[in-house]
Amino acid sequence: MYHDENGTGCLRAQRHDPAIGFLRLSVAPQARCRGIGSALLARIAAEAGDRGTERIQAMVSAGTPGPRFVRGWRVMLRLELHEQRLDWDVLRRCHELAANPHPDYRVVSWQRAAPAEWAPSFGRVMGHVLDAPGAALQMASRAWDTAAVRAWEAETAGQRLLVSAVVHLPSCEVVGATVADARAQAADQHDTAGHRTGGLARWMKARHTLRLHELFPRPGRSRSP
């Protein structure tokens, strides 16, 4: 970590893949546009490379100096974070999407451990997050068997997670899943995987949002990549 009166920068290895570092960097307003941020980044990146870091992730917010600062980076993948306020218009739209018929499927939700009968197929679905466009650039391959699911649940025990999953009724297996952390004023929805045709993802996310609002009415926003 580097810190002085002009700026702060640090890089933390991601738990799921130590070859990826998550960057936090800030420059004091009075010191911006003087190359301080770029110098901090160059120093952090050089030392990170010596430690085996291969890629750097960072998050910037629209309407701040961040997007202009990263414009010159060699970007391998850019994901936009969409934020929606859970007002009546959004909730009404979720009700409309949730009402769409999907006869061979149903959505189930849980807050702690996955039910034993769905843990194996839930693990396979979570392993397929790597099938999403660009996901392989962000995380290392991971075999999500039942033991891995239980390990992930233990790792996230301190979080306020809500998992929703689509169960394929003929096979009684989970074929899609999404996870939200509702600890703060905004609920971060992530890790959507599984069948990506027929509107199943929108249907699942709509029902998930309604369940999230029912259980945790305090979060006023939902963020999803």
**Is residue 207 a part of any domain in this protein?**
yes
For 122-170, write each residue's pLDDT tens digit: 988 887 654 444 444 444 555 688 998 898 888 887 777 889 999 999 9
Predicted pLDDT of residue 142: 58
pTM of the model: 0.65
The reply to whether 55 and 107 lie within a common domain is no
The reply to whether 33 and 107 lie within a common domain is no
What is the number of structural domains in the chain? 2
- Residues 105 and 98: their CA atoms lie apart, in Å, by 12
The reply to whether 106 and 192 lie within a common domain is yes
**Is residue 77 a part of any domain in this protein?**
no
The reply to whether 34 and 100 lie within a common domain is no
The reply to whether 134 and 57 lie within a common domain is no
Least confidently predicted of 17-26, 113-122, 210-219: 210-219
The reply to whether 36 and 89 lie within a common domain is no
- Residues 189 and 225: their CA atoms lie apart, in Å, by 8
Predicted pLDDT of residue 109: 94
Pick the last residue of a domain from 72, 96, 113. 72
The reply to whether 112 and 179 lie within a common domain is yes
**Is residue 106 a part of any domain in this protein?**
yes
Nearest partner of 225 among 178, 185, 164, 175, judged by Cα: 178
The reply to whether 163 and 183 lie within a common domain is yes
User: Could you tell me the CATH number of the domain that includes residue 128?
Assistant: 3.40.630.30
**Dihedral (C-alpha) 169, 182, 207, 200: value to the nearest 10 degrees?**
-60
The reply to whether 11 and 45 lie within a common domain is yes
For 159-215, write each residue's pLDDT tens digit: 778 899 999 999 999 988 888 877 655 555 555 555 666 788 889 889 998 998 888
Q: Does residue 84 sit in helix, strand or coil?
A: strand
The reply to whether 94 and 118 lie within a common domain is yes
| pLDDT of 85 higher than 80 | no
**Dihedral (C-alpha) 136, 225, 105, 115: value to the nearest 10 degrees?**
70
Pick the last residue of a domain from 45, 72, 99. 72
- Residues 19 and 63: their CA atoms lie apart, in Å, by 30
What DSSP string describes 34-66? SSHHHHHHHHHHHHHHHTT--EEE----TTSSH
Predicted pLDDT of residue 206: 92
The reply to whether 191 and 133 lie within a common domain is yes
**Is residue 93 a part of any domain in this protein?**
yes
The reply to whether 46 and 87 lie within a common domain is no
pLDDT-above-70 percentage for the chain: 76
Q: Which domain holds residue 53?
A: 2-72
**Is residue 51 a part of any domain in this protein?**
yes
